[in-house]
Amino acid sequence: MSLHTTENIEKTTLIRKYSPLTCDVLSELRNSGEYCDVILRTDDQHLFKVHRAILCSCSSFFRALFTNGMNETTDQIVDIHDINGDIMNLIIDYVYTREIKFNDNNIYEILSAANQLQVLELFSLCENYLYEKLNPENILGIREFASFFYCKKLCEQTEIYLLTNFTEISIKSQEFLELNLEQIIDILNSDELNIKSEEAVFDAVIRWIDYKVDERKKNIVDLLKCVRLGLLTTNFFIEKVKCHPYIINNETCKPLVIDTLKYLYELDVDTYQDLFVQNPIARPRIPHEIIFVCGGWSGGSPTSVIELYDTRADKWFQLPFNDRFPRAYHGIVTINNFIYVIGGFDGMEYFNSCRIFDLKILQWNEIAPMNVKRCYVSVTVLDGLIYAMGGFDGHSRQSTAERYSPNSNQWLPIPPMHAQRSDASATVLQNRIYICGGFNGQECMNSAEYFDPKTNQWTMIAPMRNRRSGIGVIAFHNSIYAIGGFNGSTRMNSGERYNPKTNTWLSMPDMYNPRSNFAIENKLKFFLHRREN
């Protein structure tokens, strides 16, 4: 399992629990043998004089070993099995100095030994090192290794990397070709597989079969069921799939081929819209292929309609899963394939109610209401928690803010902002929540502030150069960008950038068109304008 690194050895230092001087003294005591009270012996007969107390301070394994009342509590020589002397020496050096050198040849043995000895800080360092070395050629091997040793963080990281970079991995990785049938089906069935088109999945299936064609071609129907055939273009399906040698004369594939042809025909004549996401052969992969629009102001009144944009068909579809009540001027965020709709206004009533839409089962549910009614609310997500700030309750603009935990289904107040504001916009940068601009009931605002969950405090920052209500705010490359908005007399096409290090705003080039009350996305850098009369 190669890491394909450009440097063979890297020195990794963890934040020290001991001062450098303390580490130097402890290391000197170990090297001289002073006050050592036990000798560790590995299977290859390497001996290490150490201090029980030092080992206990960073390893629950040694803490249990030396305090269990058994022979190891008093024995002068204690045997350590299944770890060779060279690796044991590196781990003991780390315990005393908090430094260690990783390379391609020792990282897996060090992680295994750190796991066995329960040196958790070193175990975490190993996970970080392997994550930094991930590439399309080694991802699947590291993923399997992480699973074997129950490396929870590394398992999650490799899964995200695999799903995000699947197309490149399926083309470049020899390890991909070595996967067994169960493993490849598990990957291809994921709703979160990030692909530009379903053609990449079909091509990956064929590459995997071609690698051991005599052994694997019998599995074509099982693998074809993993391909969302209804998301392929009609031309690709007819020219590449239906006529493929593995499929054309395979009787077990015929029902799939017929169902797909029927679906693609109905889609092409535009009579299949309402059932689009319900057909299993055309179930969109989430979240890379579809855009949801929920509620809003339409035709002079709020709406409950949900529309979906299918990038493959280049069409909008109105879904039969509308929310129970119309809602506009609400906040909306996503967490783990759930869409959260926060607060809003139905033309008569201001809401503190909140709704959740499950993208997997396409179902709406009510969640706990906020403590305060809020429309024109600013919302964002940090560390899996939803923050709702400011807004209008029908009487006054709010300075209050609150935080929602999906795990407990509970909203709890956080300290109020320094200013009342609705029509503001919020974003997250460096584990802080920034909120900028807005309207306080009398004037459009240029003030901005941030909330730090660690200190549970709001802090004012330098004001923007322009007043902006209905502003677009986003964090990108360690800066906050504030774009467009309404200054009290006109909608603007100007923007400015905030540098947290210098606490200053700098102007940026103007947009082509003035706009306010729009959506902004940092991955594609696009803007969605909301027209207002």
Read off the pLDDT band of 97 (50, 70, 90): confident
Q: What is each CA distance from 210 to 119, 193, 225, 309, in whole angstroms?
A: 44, 22, 18, 35
CATH class of 417-533: mainly beta
Does residue 531 have a pLDDT over 70?
Answer: no
Regarding the domain with residue range 9-129, which homologous superfamily does it belong to in the CATH classification? Potassium Channel Kv1.1; Chain A (3.30.710.10)
Q: Name the more confident of 532 and 167.
A: 167
Does residue 74 have a pLDDT over 80?
Answer: no
Q: What is the pLDDT of residue 3?
A: 52
Q: Please count the other Cβ atoms lying within 10 Å of the Cβ belonging to residue 383.
A: 7
Name the least confident of 135-144, 179-188, 311-320. Answer: 311-320
* Partner residues linked to 291 by β-bridges: 309
Collapsing DSSP to helix, strand or coil, 464 comes out as coil
Give me the mean pLDDT over the 230-250 stretch.
Answer: 93
Share of the chain above pLDDT 70, in %: 87
Q: What is each CA distance from 147 to 140, 143, 150, 159, in whole angstroms?
A: 11, 6, 5, 10
Please list, in sequence order, all residues whose beta carbon lies within 8 angstroms of the beta carbon of residue 531, skipping any fewer than 6 positions away. Answer: none
- Bond from prior residue into 287 cis (ω within 30 degrees of 0): yes
Share of the chain above pLDDT 90, in %: 64
Give me the mean pLDDT over the 93-102 stretch.
Answer: 88
- For helices 60-67 and 107-117, the axis angle rounded to 10 degrees is 40
Does residue 464 have a pLDDT over 70?
Answer: yes
Does residue 160 have a pLDDT over 50?
Answer: yes
Give the per-residue SS3 of 349-361. Answer: CEEEEEEEEECCC
- The predicted model scores a pTM of 0.56
Q: What is the pLDDT of residue 405?
A: 97
Architecture of domain 289-394: 6 Propeller (2.120)
Q: What is the pLDDT of residue 527?
A: 40
Read off the pLDDT band of 2 (50, 70, 90): very low
Q: What is the DSSP letter of 500?
A: T
Please list, in sequence order, all residues whose beta carbon lies within 8 angstroms of the beta carbon of residue 119, skipping any fewer than 6 positions away. Answer: 58, 59, 61, 91, 94, 95
Read off the pLDDT band of 314 (50, 70, 90): low
DSSP per residue over 396-457, as a string?
A: SB---EEEEETTTTEEEEEPPPSS--BS-EEEEETTEEEEE--B-SSSB---EEEEETTTTE
- Classify burial at 299, counting beta carbons within 10 Å of its beta carbon; exposed 0-12, middle 13-18, buried 19 or more: exposed
Name the least confident of 66-75, 312-321, 454-463, 488-497. Answer: 312-321
Collapsing DSSP to helix, strand or coil, 15 comes out as coil
Average pLDDT of the chain? 87
pLDDT digit string, tens, across residues 391-428 = 999 999 999 999 999 999 999 999 999 999 999 999 99
C-alpha–C-alpha distance, residues 56 and 67, integer Å:
9
pLDDT digit string, tens, across residues 345-397 = 999 999 999 999 987 777 889 999 999 999 999 999 999 999 999 999 999 99
Q: What is the pLDDT of residue 212?
A: 96
Q: What is the pLDDT of residue 28?
A: 73
Does residue 192 have a pLDDT over 90?
Answer: no
**Element of type H or E holding 483:** strand 479-483
C-alpha–C-alpha distance, residues 216 and 457, integer Å:
60
- From first CA to last CA, the distance across the chain in angstroms is 62
Q: What is the pLDDT of residue 7?
A: 40
pLDDT digit string, tens, across residues 416-463 = 999 999 999 999 999 999 999 999 999 999 999 999 999 999 999 999
Tokens of 397: 């603009």
pLDDT digit string, tens, across residues 39-72 = 999 999 999 998 888 888 889 999 998 888 776 6
Give me the mean pLDDT over the 85-104 stretch.
Answer: 90
From the list 174, 166, 175, 172, the residue with the least C-alpha distance to 202 is: 166
Q: What is the pLDDT of residue 313?
A: 54
Q: Assess contact for 497 and 479: CB atoms under 8 A.
A: yes
Read off the pLDDT band of 321 (50, 70, 90): confident
**Element of type H or E holding 459:** strand 457-461
Does residue 533 have a pLDDT over 80?
Answer: no
Q: What is the pLDDT of residue 289?
A: 55
Strands 47-50 and 38-42: antiparallel
Query: Domain extents for the chain?
Result: 9-129, 166-282, 289-394, 417-533
Fold adopted by 166-282: 1.25.40
Proportion of the chain in helix, strand, coil states, percent, rounded to 5? 30, 30, 40
Residue with tokens 């042809």: 261
C-alpha–C-alpha distance, residues 431 and 453, integer Å:
8
pLDDT digit string, tens, across residues 272-297 = 444 444 678 888 776 455 677 888 88
Q: What is the pLDDT of residue 222?
A: 96
* Partner residues linked to 50 by β-bridges: 38
CATH topology agreement for domains 289-394 and 417-533: yes
Please list, in sequence order, all residues whose beta carbon lies within 8 angstroms of the beta carbon of residue 159, skipping any fewer than 6 positions away. Answer: 143
